[in-house]
Structure 1
Amino acid sequence: GKPTLYGSLTRRGLSTEGVPDIAASEGFVVGEVTKKSILVSCPHENVSTKFLAPYTTFCRIHQKSITCLDISSGGGLGVSTSTDGTMKIWQAANGEIRRLLEGHVYDVNCCRFFPSGLVVLSGGMDAQLKIWSAEDASCVVTFKGHKGGILDIAIVDRGRNVLSCSRDGTARLWDCGKSACLGVIADCSSPVNGIAVGTADNSLNLGTPEKAPSEREVGTEGKILLLAREDKKLQGVGLQSRQPVFLFVGSDAFNCCAFLSSTYILAGTQDGNIYQLDVRNTNAPIQVIHRSGAPVLSLLPYRDGFIASQGN
């Protein structure tokens, strides 16, 4: 890659409307400036970025880095986990803490609301998945079976079944009603850092199950499971069939993945690449986005595009 260009911004003053007057160092140009945003470009590299100020910041929920966060479907509640060892439910409007979810041993890596917004799924380094009531913070179900820390979780449809992936190299499907494992969807011999489940394009052959699916499996038909693997591979597996659908090799370990639609998917790597792929033909990516060499840590579809976070 090319050497990184460094620059700085200096505030020279403030207009009567309260908009800052900002100057950029050599090689950079400041475009539109408002109270909440600054547009900066680098003409030599033909790139520009708009920096947005947060409209609110919650500083009192956690003491250390936040490792995972989700907002309920209604938008009223947030749940988050942190390297301070806590998992908390809070009001999205003002950051007021409502519940402390205690029961995992060691760090909690991932948390997610069920579609109802009343129940939370979490996975931890103790190799356990837990389901919690958001109303009274009680742990209603614990799933055991993984041999290593759980790195990501996903919910199938309304949540009668859930999915997890782990350092142990497996992705598992679970039955919430009977707190039982319905099967190992994939065994990769490499840690699985992230998963995503989505409805597959009709033209895609997802394979046939070797044995009839359990009647406890709900909503797995026609779904594909994406696995972001530590061994630089992004894998697609038929959720009901357990059969491999595609295998794509990237530039570095894959950290996260997401569906943009039934056709288009995204995956982010440790060396800063975001791959956009068409599930019908994964031989070559549609595009590779590279903004910096910092690890891509999360991907979230948003409106007609997506939001990505990087570790810098």
Structure 2
Amino acid sequence: NKKFKLTNGKQLNKKNKKQEKEDPNNEEIDSDEIDSQSVSDLNQKSIQEGTLKQKIKVIKTIKKKKDQEEEETAERKRLRLAQQILNKAKKQNQKKTGDFPDQTDDSFDDGEDKQSDNDSFVGVHKGDKTTTDAITKALQNEILKKRQLFYTHYIDQVYKNWQTNNQSYSFNTLKGHKRCITCIEFCPSGQYLYTASKDASIIKWDLKNNNEKIFLVREKTTESHKDEIYSISINHLSKYLISGSKDKTIKIWDLQKMSLLKTLTGHRQAVIGVKFGINSNIFCSVSADLQFKMWDASEKVFLDTFFGHKGDVNYIDAITAEHFISSGFDRQVIIWKTEQQSQLVYEGHDFSIDIVKAINQEYFITGSQDGNIGLWFIKKKKPVYILQNAHGGYWITSIGNIYNTDFFCSGSYNQQINVYKLSLQDKKFDKLYSIPCEGIINDIKISIDCNYLAYTQGDEHKLGRWIVSKKTKNLVKYVKLL
């Protein structure tokens, strides 16, 4: 009988390891239902003054002026985006009615924008009058989609387009790396795709400009990693890209200047995964040294270290700005509540869990070497739904999804990518169709607006050579979905 461990509010850093063993609050839960009170704080901000919170406060105090300037820049960008959406909505409404009143851009700029706790756009005020018509609602939803804070239904339209296109896709091909491509990442706008490889290079591809290829860093240069790159992540403003490598380091890159900002050290073994928090400059890293570390990209500093996994950590994803989720060779999934410095531990697969992806703040999906894909609810100790042998018994090597949407894809090395429809209400997912492919699929990514799907095609697994496909060419393919 497998045990499900819940550690509520305990200190995870090395300094308090002894105290952790003596903590009377640690308990084992054998029932199928996790106490809802134990996990309700996943969506609430901790009011405790922990060491991590103090560190962040000190860091932000040191460069307060710089932080304010960055926030102002982000705000201007947000307002420009909102103005474009508003103008588009006004034109559409004017075509329908023919009598839409004139309103200049200045009237929008002079208004006051109200924001909720999650920084989503709520409404535009002009004096005492609040715009509550369809235009404001459309604007609000568009902002929420961009911030991944609005649950969006895409799969029906994606499936319809696939059927209309004779149940096939015409993929574009990107060639530029000399070795197996391990990871890819879309920028938030969807215009650029970044790819990283075992050759230690990172390439930026302009998908709207004839796939123009620009090297963020070439292999074997002063700034490049000294070994294979395993993971990359881009922050919500497209300002920073972080990369984790077999050389035990993390590098922070400036995407505006296309240059290296800093190399971070601290891990004792290969850095397997890196991930920014949702709409945050805080990011976390996981490593073969079993450590989970937290960093601040804007200040380029280390924040804290956590412990929990008993074997190599294979993957990391973000649930919120402060909460992350990871999976490992120990067959465990851990939700890290970094501000509270506590964790939730889940077990349910027979072999290593190579991928975990957050669907929203309550659900996540896992892919394992046992060939199964699981759908999990955070209050349950076991998967609420399992698809056995999703790729005919082959390992699940990759899963691609968009946070807060209703579909995902899975990859393996059986020459196909599967596309699924999620139904959280029914707590299940269904396979809709498959996309033919070649080689080992190390990564699948979908742009935030669901316009593009991209995947890597490789001759070997990203973490080793125990799976090989000698005749396969190393490249990236992408297609327009909507």
Match of 2:393 in 1: 293
Runs of 4+ in 1 over 6 A off after TM superposition: none
Which sections of structure 2, spanning at least 5 residues, go unmatched? 1-161, 219-223, 415-482
Q: 1:189 to 1:34 in 2, by over 3 A?
A: closer
Q: Do the aligned residues in 1 keep the contact of 2:201 with 2:215 (CA within 8 Å)?
A: no
1:82 shift after superposition: 1.7
Match of 1:243 in 2: 342
Is it true that 1:105 corresponds to 2:226 in the alignment? yes
| Greater RCO (Cα-Cα under 8 Å, separation 6 or more) | 2
Match of 1:173 in 2: 294
Describe how 1:220-299 pairs up with structure 2 within 5 A: 220=322, 223=323, 225-282=324-381, 284-289=382-387, 290-291=389-390, 292-299=392-399
Cα distance in structure 2, aligned partners of 1:263 and 1:187: 21
Aligned counterpart in structure 1 of residue 274 of structure 2, from 148, 153, 168: 153
Match of 2:205 in 1: 90
Q: Do the aligned residues in 1 keep the contact of 2:309 with 2:330 (CA within 8 Å)?
A: no
In the alignment, residue 385 of structure 2 is paired with which amino acid? Answer: Q
Q: Deviations over 1:239-291 (max 9, x none)?
A: 22221223223111011111112111111112321111100112x21111232
Which structure's residues are more often strand, by fraction? 1
Q: 1:66 to 1:35 in 2, by over 3 A?
A: farther
1:112 shift after superposition: 1.8
Q: Do the aligned residues in 2 keep the contact of 1:73 with 1:115 (CA within 8 Å)?
A: yes
SS, match of residue 62 in structure 1: coil
Moved more, 163-172 or 287-296: 287-296
Q: CA RMSD in A?
A: 2.1
In the alignment, residue 396 of structure 2 is paired with which amino acid? Answer: V
Moved more, 298-307 or 75-84: 298-307
Q: Do the aligned residues in 2 keep the contact of 1:235 with 1:248 (CA within 8 Å)?
A: no
Q: Deviations over 1:140-197 (max 9, x none)?
A: 1221100011111110233321110011111110122332221113342311110112
Cα distance in structure 2, aligned partners of 1:36 and 1:85: 37
1:238 shift after superposition: 1.6
Q: Do the aligned residues in 2 keep the contact of 1:267 with 1:274 (CA within 8 Å)?
A: yes
Cα distance in structure 2, aligned partners of 1:263 and 1:192: 22
TM-score normalised by L of structure 1: 0.72
Cα distance in structure 1, aligned partners of 2:362 and 2:251: 32
TM-score normalised by L of structure 2: 0.48
In the alignment, residue 308 of structure 1 is paired with which amino acid? Answer: S
Cα distance in structure 1, aligned partners of 2:179 and 2:169: 21
Q: Do the aligned residues in 2 keep the contact of 1:186 with 1:242 (CA within 8 Å)?
A: no
- Identity level (%): 19
1:133 shift after superposition: 1.7
Match of 2:5 in 1: none
Cα distance in structure 2, aligned partners of 1:235 and 1:157: 17
Question: Aligned pair count?
Answer: 243
Describe how 1:43-62 pairs up with structure 2 within 5 A: 52-58=168-174, 60-62=175-177
Q: Do the aligned residues in 1 keep the contact of 2:311 with 2:329 (CA within 8 Å)?
A: yes
Cα distance in structure 1, aligned partners of 2:334 and 2:178: 36
SS, match of residue 251 in structure 1: coil
Q: Do the aligned residues in 1 keep the contact of 2:232 with 2:275 (CA within 8 Å)?
A: no
Which structure's residues are more often helix, by fraction? 2
Q: Deviations over 1:122-149 (max 9, x none)?
A: 1111111111122332111221100011
Structure showing greater Rg: 2
Cα distance in structure 2, aligned partners of 1:245 and 1:187: 10
Which sections of structure 1, spanning at least 5 residues, go unmatched? 1-32, 39-51, 200-218
